[in-house]
């Protein structure tokens, strides 16, 4: 497995392709079943929920302050139909295949949904 790239577009493309191939996306959940959230670097009043295309990419963040989290798969259909519209309603952003320093692209959930839909057409 290759680490995530410094190229945000490449990481987005990888997320879409690998999630379509595997049928799931990976998030991080703590022992109380709370999903990991990070403050946005682009807007102080918005949180970002990071997701990865591969369990190992998500697992790489589960150390130090983040050792309370574990990777959890979300079925892609549920992610596209429920999660992304719900995140938009809740005013959350999506973190796309972030690196271990929690750096990467932040996207509006409906923009990510559009990217998936254009790949499915």
pLDDT, tens digit, 9 for 90 and up, residues 76-121: 999 999 999 999 999 999 999 998 888 899 999 999 999 999 988 7
Contact by Cβ (8 Å): 53, 98? no
- Whether 78 is in a domain gets the answer yes
- Whether 3 is in a domain gets the answer no
**What's the mean pLDDT in 16-38?**
96
- Between 1-5, 43-47, 54-58, 113-117, the lowest mean confidence (pLDDT) is in 1-5
5 pLDDT band, cuts 50/70/90, is confident
Q: Phi-psi region for residue 118, left (φ > 0), alpha (ψ -120 to 50) or beta?
A: alpha
Domain CATH number, residue 66: 3.40.1350.90
- Whether 2 is in a domain gets the answer no
What pLDDT was estimated at residue 2? 66
Is the per-residue pLDDT at 68 higher than 80?
yes
Mean pLDDT taken over the chain: 93
- Domain containing 103: what range? 8-120
Enter the tokens of residue 76: 């892609």
- Return phi, psi of residue 26, to 5°: -115, 130
- Whether 14 is in a domain gets the answer yes
Q: What CA–CA distance (Å, rounded) separates 99 from 88?
A: 23
- Between 3-17, 19-33, 37-51, 89-103, the lowest mean confidence (pLDDT) is in 3-17
Please state the domain count of the chain. 1
């Amino acid at each position: 497995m290759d680490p995530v790239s410094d190229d945000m577009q490449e990481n987005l493309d990888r997320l879409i392709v690998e999630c379509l191939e595997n049928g799931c996306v990976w998030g991080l959940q703590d022992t109380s079943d709370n999903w990991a959230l990070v403050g946005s670097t682009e807007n102080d009043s918005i949180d970002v929920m990071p997701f990865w295309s591969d369990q190992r990419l998500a697992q790489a963040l589960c150390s130090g302050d983040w050792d309370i989290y574990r990777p959890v798969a979300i079925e892609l259909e549920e992610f596209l139909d429920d999660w992304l519209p719900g995140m938009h309603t809740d005013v959350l952003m999506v973190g796309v295949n972030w690196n271990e320093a929690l750096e990467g692209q932040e996207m509006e959930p409906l923009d990510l949904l559009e990217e998936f839909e254009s790949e499915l057409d």
